Structure 1
């Protein structure tokens, strides 16, 4: 009998995942046989040096990119063989995204951006969803800014709109790609606190790609990637512990390279 992702308590997982760009001598192996799961109601940080495969892993897990080989599931849905249309509908209904560049629609107001997932799905929010949106707007301090377009908002406000949009439909799973990368430290802390609250109080599973040890210290679990493989899987770490681990890993890689 096949073990399902739900049986394992996972919101998403990948099995023997590989991703190769190019071919022959110029081939780049971004992922090399990765098997890992994102646990339900947990905030997971995915870390690693530039080129380690962390963004590629997130994009394949989210169905934004196809693997070269291996399988990926969101919940119990094997997304590996889905068509583009099936993937689009699945992501729209079950996954939220927060990007470093905010990805807001410039012609829409803040409220229009928050409601965009419902518009794309051709429906209005239910009473429960409307209450959730009102709660998010209140928590995020966005009420006075709902009629403003993105260019009228600060970076922190734009990212808060993006988070409200990502959480508006109550998705099981939220992927965040360097969500604090373009923010000042105070706005960054607010964003991380919101993601942690979504996981702790609302049972949502958060997977966040980051290079920032301080950001990763907000997570319940930290996955470290190196050369397309998971090299460590650690419970909650302090920023100092994460920095020390990454420094040791970089020094080890440098020494290995020097010895080769």
Structure 2
């Protein structure tokens, strides 16, 4: 009997995934037979040099791109078999996104940005949803900012709104793509602590693509990619240890 992703204790996984762009001698292999799982309630960082395949991996796991070969699951759903309509519905209902550029709607206040995923999915938040959103906003320090539009918020506050929006639907998995890239170091650390807290307090699963060893140090584990393959996995490490490992890897290449 086949063991499911849920029975493995995973929120998502990919199996023997490869991604090739182009054909023939000019083909570029972005991912080369990658198999990994993102554990439930765990903060996973994905690192690697530019061109290592980390963004491609995230896009495939989030259903934003299709692998050339292999399969990707969100929970027990094989997302590589879904059509575009089903993938759009899955992303709205089961995946949260936090981006470097915040991606807030400038004409909407904080609350409207947070509940936007519900509106896009064609329904209003239930009483249970509202209670969850209130809990999130309190934990993120946003309770007194709900009527403010993005231009009235600091960068850190905007990213907090983006985190609340990502968590509001209680997704299987949140993807964070360089979430501190547009923040100063102090605010960036605060945002990373909030992401780590979401895992610890709410059991949220988070996969974060980053190039920053300080950001990766907030994660429970760090996956290292090089040339489209997973070459190493680190547990919870200090920024210095992660930086030393990355430097040694680049020196050996």
* TM-score normalised according to structure 1 size: 0.94
Q: CA deviation at 1:165?
A: 0.1
Aligned counterpart, 2:81: 81
Distance 2:65 2:100 in 1: 18
Deviation at 1:153?
2.0
The whole-number CA distance in structure 2 between the counterparts of 1:180 and 1:24 is 38
2:245 corresponding residue in structure 1: 245
Describe the SS at the equivalent of 1:179.
coil
Check whether the contact 2:216–2:222 (CA below 8 A) recurs between aligned residues.
yes
2:110 is aligned to 110
Partner of 1:150: 150
Cα distance in 2, alignment partners of residues 107 and 47 from structure 1: 34
Equivalent in the alignment of 1:258: none
Deviation at 1:135, TM superposition (A): 1.6
Give structure 1 stretches of 5+ with no counterpart.
Answer: 254-260
1:199 is matched with: 199
Cα deviation code 1:213-239 (max 9, x no counterpart):
000001111100000000001211111
Shift of the alpha carbon at 1:148? 2.1
Determine the structure 2 residue equivalent to 1:139: 139
**1:228 equivalent in structure 2:** 228
Number of the residue aligned with 1:55: 55
User: What corresponds to 1:67 in structure 2?
Assistant: 67
Q: Deviation at 1:46?
A: 0.4
**CA distance in 2 between partners of 1:5 and 1:138 (Å):** 32
Query: CA offsets, 1:2-42, max 9 Å, x none?
Result: 12111111100001101111222322111011000001111
Q: Which residue of 2 aligns with 1:174?
A: 174
Counterpart of 1:130 in structure 2 is 130
- Check if 1:120 corresponds to 2:120: yes
Q: Secondary structure at the match of 1:32?
A: strand
* Deviation for aligned residue 1:91: 1.3
User: SS of 1:97's equivalent?
Assistant: strand
CA distance in 2, matches of 1:133, 1:7: 29
Give the TM-score normalised by structure 2: 0.97
Q: Could you report, residue by residue, the CA deviation over 1:45-89 in whole angstroms, capped at 9, with x for unpaired residues?
A: 000111100011011001011111110000000000101110111
Secondary structure, aligned partner of 2:133: helix
The separation in 2 between residues aligned to 1:32 and 1:182, in whole angstroms, is 31
Size of the aligned set, in residue pairs, is 253
Residue 23 (structure 2) aligns with = 23
Provide the C-alpha distance between the structure 2 equivalents of 1:115 and 1:20, rounded to a whole number of angstroms: 37
CA distance in 2, matches of 1:152, 1:27: 46
**Hey, what does 1:256 align to over in structure 2?**
none
Corresponding residue for residue 2 of structure 1? 2
Distance in 1, Cα, partners of 2:129 & 2:169: 7
